[in-house]
Structure 1
């Protein structure tokens, strides 16, 4: 029974870590006024019939804080990349000069910054919900073990450990939000 309890705790720890990592990844997609190559990570280009990430058909660089430059490996991919960026929800207008695609990020207005903070807060809340669901699942498995005859004090310790893991990961998400909010609101 002790091994099963440890397995449940390890599973909960791993799943919560992955939830924090996922939330961190989602927050990188929210632009804070600075150009980042990762902003194009979710854009797919039709590459010989299969949807392929932009960074696999082109190099993506940021020469300065407001510009992203996309240089395709094959010149004929230029139009497909441009079309994919236009169709994305980034709201950027690509400038195609026949060699590269240049994306200029406009400076953020105060209203837009506040909207991005709300978006970041929503992502953090989704992460917290995931962590709480993982806690609930772990606690349910622990209570099943108790019904099967596991020691009550071992289950109580394990439940306390799950709560401790939950608190630690929720704190990490709060810290992430604080950093992202500061990043977005810095002019």
Structure 2
């Protein structure tokens, strides 16, 4: 039959790494009390008739630990950038000086820190679900191969491979969550 079955574990790992990368991107958008240019990545501005990322409308800088500045290239876009930041839910009030939009990052209070740790936990749970779905896809491929005639030993080997990959990625997700929560709670 088909004893030469090869599960593409590289593809499964690539997909699981993608879930991990997505989690890191979501974590970067969480405000921890320190200024970071990445916190503006999810914000889009209604500009020139389309939704445009903020970093395509100006230069984003972090001149101080508690300040982000955006040097908007087109003066007519300053108001739109300000409005997008206010509507983003970041909880930051922009200040404008000509074409420069300044974002002072306020200290986080205890309640807001706890809320952000819950949001981080939700992001991590979504990533875990993604990894588990990828695991299920891998296991389905192994079951299909079993039906096509691979040996039980081969089936067990490939199921163990998929499970090992899954365990490794879940452990990495948990470590990333723990690290992010500690960073958020740090005063």
TM-score normalised by structure 2 residue count: 0.94
- Where in structure 2 are the equivalents of 1:28-67 lying within 5 Å? 28-67=28-67
Q: Deviations over 1:142-178 (max 9, x none)?
A: 1011101122211210100000000100110111012
- Where in structure 2 are the equivalents of 1:82-161 lying within 5 Å? 82-161=82-161
- Find the aligned partners of 2:84 and 2:20 in 1 and give their Cα distance: 29
Give the C-alpha shift of residue 91 in structure 1: 2.0
Who is 2:70 aligned against?
A: 70
Larger helix proportion, structure 1 or 2? Answer: 1
Structure 1: where are the runs of 5+ without partners?
Answer: none
CA RMSD of aligned residues (A): 1.4
Give the direction of change, closer, same or farther, for the CA distance of 1:71–1:4 in structure 2 (3 Å limit): farther
- Find the aligned partners of 2:167 and 2:3 in 1 and give their Cα distance: 23
- Find the aligned partners of 2:3 and 2:19 in 1 and give their Cα distance: 26
Give the C-alpha shift of residue 5 in structure 1: 2.7
- Find the aligned partners of 1:60 and 1:2 in 2 and give their Cα distance: 56
User: Is the contact made by 1:26 and 1:123 (CA closer than 8 Å) also made in structure 2?
Assistant: yes
The list of structure 1 runs, each at least 4 consecutive aligned residues, that deviate by more than 3 angstroms after superposition, is 1-4
| Structure 1 SS opposite 2:6 | helix
| Structure 1 SS opposite 2:162 | helix
Q: Deviations over 1:75-119 (max 9, x none)?
A: 221111111112212121111122211111110111111111111
TM-score normalised by structure 1 residue count: 0.94
User: Is the contact made by 1:5 and 1:142 (CA closer than 8 Å) also made in structure 2?
Assistant: no
| Structure 2 SS opposite 1:30 | coil
| Structure 2 SS opposite 1:108 | coil
User: Is the contact made by 1:61 and 1:70 (CA closer than 8 Å) also made in structure 2?
Assistant: yes
Who is 2:16 aligned against?
A: 16
Aligned length in residues? 186
User: Is the contact made by 2:131 and 2:170 (CA closer than 8 Å) also made in structure 1?
Assistant: yes
Give the C-alpha shift of residue 47 in structure 1: 2.5
Structure 2: where are the runs of 5+ without partners?
Answer: none
Give the C-alpha shift of residue 71 in structure 1: 0.5
Who is 1:176 aligned against?
A: 176
